[in-house]
Structure 1
């Protein structure tokens, strides 16, 4: 018989911290997963800067260095999306190996199990983004927004990472196998290509331009780009970025919690 009960707020906090610690220990014990998720964004960064950067930079009215400054925010968002794939895989592993089933028989706050995965995903995302930004700095990127701009950008990136973490947890829980979990988040990795992350939306055909202007990643990328480069970020753009993040987080949370209770 299940010993599940409704935990008091203090127990919920303690359970959540325990699950967060479990996720962080997994990151430390299996650093290869984090490294693997960093490799893809770095490959795209080097590809776009050194292979396509000269031509694309000229299209922006500058050179390779100008394109590097333009593309870094898109690569940082892609890094968050790439990390979501790893989160879905770890959640699916817990589901298929019976770990979550074991937790459900214990007197643990249900949200704590999910919170542990989300917190671990956010930390993993920020680590990956720091590495990507470090490589960009080595390539010559200089954030004109200075330290305040970089900190503000990473604040926004943390919010985006939090939202994608909840979505990836839901995708991991709905997957019937680890292989399925590795494939479901793939559209998140490629969606930045259909945004303003790599080329201005004005250079796209009309239909694609409309989609790029109205999809979630475009205002997120524009917000991060403005903060890093020190250019003003319109309140509407910031509002759309945070609004999309809040909506994605809410949907991911509701779906993940529902699946946790029913599967």
Structure 2
């Protein structure tokens, strides 16, 4: 029997608190855990390498490699490519949610949380909430890199901000998938391996980098129904045309479906271990 289990067994006040915790207390506990996540970043800033270096590297590298070959010039390719790079970079950073969750569980951090008079769901909710900052950083740096390279969104700064918020919301939704892997997997390495096995087909078999019409028919059919394709198209329409279209609605619907499916699965699996 673990120390945390013994503590809960001999402290009926803690068990009673967790059985009768209010919604307001749950929100406050979750915000506290989110602040803990931000403090971890402050103390180990190298955790931000993937959201600071990666967006810049991907934007420069993909535009330099594919710009001339696909669109004839960098200037012509950036309006098409930058929204795709944005989605790929931000969605990729959401994998870290599951990896860090598994690492905390392996280190026994969550065992210590069990003995505290806090809502049981707070550590999980706080981790997911804190990672939205990472998505915001990756989004901002991607747009700034594109601007330095010559991309100027015709849709205006307001629609660029709206596009960034859309990406952050959808990435937060996708992070529930990786959080589920983090709860059920046996190691952080396996979480990362499984996550990228899911992520790479979704990002590269989309319209992020090339038009679907240039692909073989079976791949084109998959790309046209890929949820990330709707998100990429919605970002392009917002940034380049200033239009909030049905693609943005479908992207939000897809995000809502992901949360509706994976949030209960993640919470149920987490509660069994918490």
Alpha-carbon contact 1:168-1:252 (below 8 Å) kept: no
1:25 lines up with 2:39 in the alignment: yes
Alignment of structure 1 residues 76-225 onto 2, 5 Å = 76-186=86-196, 187-225=198-236
Structure 2: distance between partners of 1:110 and 1:12: 8
Q: CA deviation at 1:78?
A: 0.9
Structure 2 spans left out of the alignment, 5+ residues: 1-8
Alpha-carbon contact 2:104-2:110 (below 8 Å) kept: yes
Q: Paired residue for 1:238? A: 248
Structure 2: distance between partners of 1:155 and 1:161: 10
Q: Paired residue for 2:26? A: 12
SS at match of 1:196: coil
Note the alpha carbon deviations across 1:94-144, whole angstroms, 9 max, x for none.
Answer: 111111222223322122211111111111111111112111111111111
What is the TM-score normalised by the length of structure 1?
0.92
Q: CA deviation at 1:249?
A: 1.8
Q: CA deviation at 1:165?
A: 2.2
Alpha-carbon contact 2:51-2:137 (below 8 Å) kept: no
Q: CA deviation at 1:189?
A: 4.3
Query: Which protein shows a greater Rg?
Result: 2
Alpha-carbon contact 2:99-2:192 (below 8 Å) kept: yes
Q: Paired residue for 2:84? A: 74
Matched positions, count: 258
Superposition RMSD in Å: 1.7
What is the TM-score normalised by the length of structure 2?
0.88
Structure 1: distance between partners of 2:259 and 2:139: 20
Alpha-carbon contact 1:80-1:164 (below 8 Å) kept: no
Structure 2: distance between partners of 1:86 and 1:241: 22
Q: CA deviation at 1:239?
A: 2.1
Structure 1 spans left out of the alignment, 5+ residues: none
Alpha-carbon contact 2:59-2:85 (below 8 Å) kept: yes
Q: CA deviation at 1:37?
A: 4.3
Alpha-carbon contact 2:56-2:141 (below 8 Å) kept: no
Alpha-carbon contact 2:155-2:242 (below 8 Å) kept: yes
Note the alpha carbon deviations across 1:163-204, whole angstroms, 9 max, x for none.
Answer: 022222212111211111221221324521111100111111
